[in-house]
Amino acid sequence: MATRIQVSGLDIHYDRFLAVQDVSMDIEPRQVTALIGPSGCGKSTLLRSLNRMHELVPGARVSGKVVLDGQDLYGPDVDPVRVRRHVGMVFQRPNPFPTMSVYDNVAAGLRLNHRRMPRSEMDGRVERSLRAANLWTEVRDRLHRPGSGLSGGQQQRLCIARAIAVEPDVLLMDEPCSALDPISTQAIEDLILDLKSSYTIVIVTHNMQQAQRVSDTTGFFNLRAAGEPGVLVEMADTTTLFTRPAKQATEDYVSGRFG
Ligand SMILES: Nc1ncnc2c1ncn2[C@@H]1O[C@H](COP(=O)(O)OP(=O)(O)OP(=O)(O)O)[C@@H](O)[C@H]1O
């Protein structure tokens, strides 16, 4: 089930360094939301705060609120491991577990969450996830060979299959195509458009054409000034943000005048 995310007054620190300041934004279900902006403005940091992944960095901390369908992710009784089951993540470089087979890569999260799942059900879930990731026909005859033997684009779709196997509500993607060739990029973009009917998708991308191809809404982030924190400058539906932005800084960035 796709979920609405409401971010309010979010500050993110790495030790004393304030990386992201006072971000408030609503992320709608069954839509793709793109986060764009120059290097270092905090897009990945913000993305990782949406499933508490940034907590894996010592000294990283958040204040403010991230609410998923009414539940504050940073509430006192919230288990970050459970959060990460509901909010899956796909990274810049495809990172299948290198020694595991294609099948086991997809089954890994399921095994953690459902220790006693019967084999036939596991087979069904693995197949469904691979089909949903548009990978099944390419790997059905090599399910028990290492995932690391697939091409880069196939590995990235395998990582997406692994992320969706545990049936998350939200998929976070951090520059998922930046290590891929144009054909594999297109396959991932097509997949994102297929998946958005079932998930809330947030994608960080440096590629402004990609943001325009895949996203419904775009948020433009920028540094408040050199050496200062990243802030959300403007968020709007993607067509508006790219053609009639409200802020001059957005206009300058999307027209290629800086960044
Ligand atoms: N693990 C970390 N420890 C300390 N500072 C960090 C860490 N990760 C990121 N930062 C700092 O936080 C700021 C935001 O970084 P972040 O990677 O979120 O930006 P970004 O917009 O995603 O950049 P890029 O587009 O280059 O990936 C930067 O100043 C960066 O140096």
Q: What is the pLDDT of residues 216-234, one digit of tens each?
A: 999 999 999 988 999 999 9
In the predicted model, what is the mean pLDDT of residues 199-218?
96
- Residue 244 · residue 238 · CB < 8 Å: no
In the predicted model, what is the mean pLDDT of residues 42-49?
97
Q: How many CA atoms lie less than 13 Å away from 40 in the CB half-sphere? A: 9
pLDDT at 214 over 70: yes
The pTM for the full model equals: 0.94
Atom 1 of ligand 1, residue of closest alpha carbon: 57
Neighbours of 185 (CB within 10 A): 19
In the predicted model, what is the mean pLDDT of residues 125-140?
94
Q: How far is CA 180 from CA 33, 48, 84, 100, 147, in A?
A: 21, 22, 25, 22, 16
pLDDT at 34 over 90: yes
CA proximity to 88, closest of 163, 20, 154, 16: 163
pLDDT at 42 over 80: yes
Higher pLDDT, 106 or 112: 106
User: Which of 13, 14, 175, when mutated, tests ligand 1's pocket best, judged by the most ligand atoms within 8 Å of its CB?
Assistant: 14
Query: Is residue 217 within 6 Å of ligand 1 at its C-beta?
Result: no
Q: Is the confidence metric ipTM above 0.90 for this complex?
A: yes
Specify the ligand 1 atom closest to the Cα of 15. Answer: 4
Q: What proportion of the chain, given as a percentage, has pLDDT over 90?
A: 83
Q: What is the pLDDT of residue 258?
A: 78
Query: Is residue 57 within 6 Å of ligand 1 at its C-beta?
Result: yes
pLDDT at 2 over 70: no
Q: Could you tell me the pLDDT band of residue 1, with boundaries at 50, 70 and 90?
A: low
- Residue 204 · residue 235 · CB < 8 Å: no
